[in-house]
Copies of this chain bind each other. A is one copy, B any other.
Amino acid sequence: MGDELEARIAERALAYVVDPPRGDDPVIELASPAELRKVFDASVPLEFDSVATAHHDDAIVEAVDSVIRYSVHTSHPRFVNQNFAGPDPVSVAGDFLGAALNTTGATFEAAPVFTLMESAVLAKLGRIAGYVAADSDPLPTVPPGLFCPGGSTATLYALQLARQRLRPDVNTTGATGEKLTVFVSDSGHYAASKSAALLGLGTDAVIKVESDDAGAMIPDALGDALTASKAAGQVPLAIIATSGTTVTSAFDDLHALADHAEAHGVWLHVDGCYGGSALFSPTERHRLDGVERSDSFVWNLHKMMGMTQQCTALLVKEPSRLAECFALRADYLFQPDKLHAEYDSGDRTFQCARRVDVLKLWLAWKHHGDTGFAARIDHAVAMAQRGAARVASSDGEFAHVTGTFTNVVFGWIPPELRPTNLTPLSIPTLSAETHATLHAIPPRIKRRMQQEGSAMMGFQPIAGLNTFRLLVMSPTVGPDDIDSLFDQISEYGMSISAITS
């Protein structure tokens, strides 16, 4: 491909994409910061001297090999650590093409093809979510949403849109001290609180509504919370429904929440960052029934769909609100006397320059089609079900905690403690000794996984007790990988128990 450094780097990246780590390849080669420093000292040191010299191409290529070797292999079938995994190869290549053409999505002038691709993709997503009619323009001048750098940012924008609708003057005159409140389940994402802090609502304005054992908001509790907030002299601003919570992948009942939103005249934002992609599957899309009644909906295609970081669509029911809320009409950029300026998206969002995240999604979707996208979802659910079945049939070795859709939350129980019930309601009834024993297990097993490089699986406290979370989204995860994950936990668990007892 050429001797240029850029070609040598790209060659290695492409080889990795075409033939990624799998099977017995390590998921990670664990190294401490001190060890990594030593590794890079042998080619190109990680740090910069006070006068940074230019390094030879060969040394940089050697460093690139170290970058690859010591990075986490998120495309490995046994990377089930968090809510992204298994990058789609076409998406990775599309991302590269976008970088090569390096432009900004803010204006048609600078991004003619990508502006139209955004329109096409957002229109299609809008139709899937029921935000626009099935027979609406597939290539509208103003699409029903925008792309933004991540789900937290999208939730920030959504709350700003909500405030703009409720109190149109705040954008110009500032917050008045009036207490505007935001409702989200206690299983919802912390983006609600982070956004409330930034917006000047304050984190106290976020009212965490009780969720059920599965992690879904209890609609009656929302109704009570809305009423109580009003009684306290506050003004309910927005309800954030969660479609696919981070830990258990719970889906709030969107119709029930929409009923409350309509009754109280409150903005309904759906955080479908993770679970929004269920809409691609005819058998799973029922989980988001009612999403068409929401005012805004964020959908991270870089999570379940394997688009590279980042690919976030924020759909907005009334797209004209975007310009009303964000437009500042910078006269050096959004000149009306430019060609096709009516397509410019830059004045409908907060960002100015903006990476063209749409290209990779457009290419992947055109490659896989709706059927391919549905298959990715259905496969993930099937593999998670295999994991859940393993837990259920383990004679008490694994204890089911919670989880649905693609998520299985469970614990590993040492032989002398079997059976132990770990449902969220029973965890508080554990003896202090049992709690301490079980709590210490997941971090130690995970450390072994990392040390062996055999897998990466996340854990988190549920009712104060560390528990594993298996979540699947990559099409490369096969039945053997699921079996292997549980076998490893079993093996490492026994070996840890033997040392401890």
Of B138, B176, B335, which one neighbours A49 at CB under 8 angstroms? B138
Known: A4-B89, A310-B355, A339-B447. A365 touches B198 (CB 8 A): no
Closest approach, in angstroms, between the C-beta of A285 and any C-beta of chain B?
Answer: 14
Bound together, the chains give a CA A93 to CA B100 distance in angstroms of 8
* Docked CA distance A370–B60 (Å): 16
A351 partner residues in chain B, CB cutoff 8 A: 149-150, 152-153
Residues in A479-494 with C-beta less than 8 Å from chain B: none
Question: Are A102 and B352 in contact, CB atoms less than 8 angstroms apart?
Answer: no
Instruction: Identify the closest chain B residue to A370 (Cβ).
Output: B52
A402 interfacial contact with B, CB 8 Å: no
* Inter-subunit contact B308/A99 (CB<8 Å): yes
B-chain residues with CB within 8 Å of residue A458 when the two chains form the complex: 332
Q: How far is the CA of A128 from the CA of B337 in the complex (A)?
A: 41
Instruction: Tell me if A281 is interfacial: C-beta within 8 Å of chain B.
Output: no
Q: How far is the CB of A270 from chain B (nearest CB, A)?
A: 17
Q: Which segment, of A112-120, A288-296, A378-386, faces chain B?
A: A112-120
A450 within 8 A of B: yes
Instruction: Judge whether A214 is part of the interface by a CB distance below 8 angstroms.
Output: no
A325 (CB) vs chain B CBs: closest residue: B197
How many angstroms between the C-alpha atoms of A122 and B48 in the bound complex? 10
Cα A44 to Cα B371 with chains together (Å): 17
How many whole Å from A437's CB to the nearest CB in chain B? Answer: 15
- Interface size in chain A (residues, C-beta < 8 A): 161
**CB-CB under 8 A for A202 and B60, given A71-B111, A112-B70, A328-B190:** no
For the complex, what is the distance from the CA of A7 to the CA of B81, rounded to whole Å?
28
Q: Which chain B residues lie closer than 8 Å to A415 at the CB level?
A: none
Cα-based distance from A152 to B106 in the complex (angstroms): 13
Q: Is A179 an interface residue (CB 8 A)?
A: yes
A9 within 8 A of B: yes
Interface membership of A232, Cβ < 8 A = no
Contact with B along A17-58 (1 / 0, CB 8 A): 110000000000011110011000000101111111111010
Cα of A204 to Cα of B67 in the assembled complex, Å? 48
B-chain residues with CB within 8 Å of residue A461 when the two chains form the complex: 331-332, 335
Is there an interface contact between A359 and B10, defined as CB atoms closer than 8 Å?
Answer: no
Residue of B nearest to A56 (CB): B367
Report B-chain residues with C-beta under 8 Å of the C-beta of A355: 149, 308-310
Q: Which of the residues B116, B200, B309 comes within 8 Å of A201, measured between beta carbons?
A: B200
List the 10 closest A-B pairs by CB distance, nearest first. A200-B200, A174-B202, A54-B369, A332-B460, A177-B177, A47-B138, A175-B200, A149-B149, A9-B93, A175-B175
4 additional contacts (CB under 8 A) given A149-B150, A156-B198: A10-B17, A60-B367, A189-B352, A332-B461
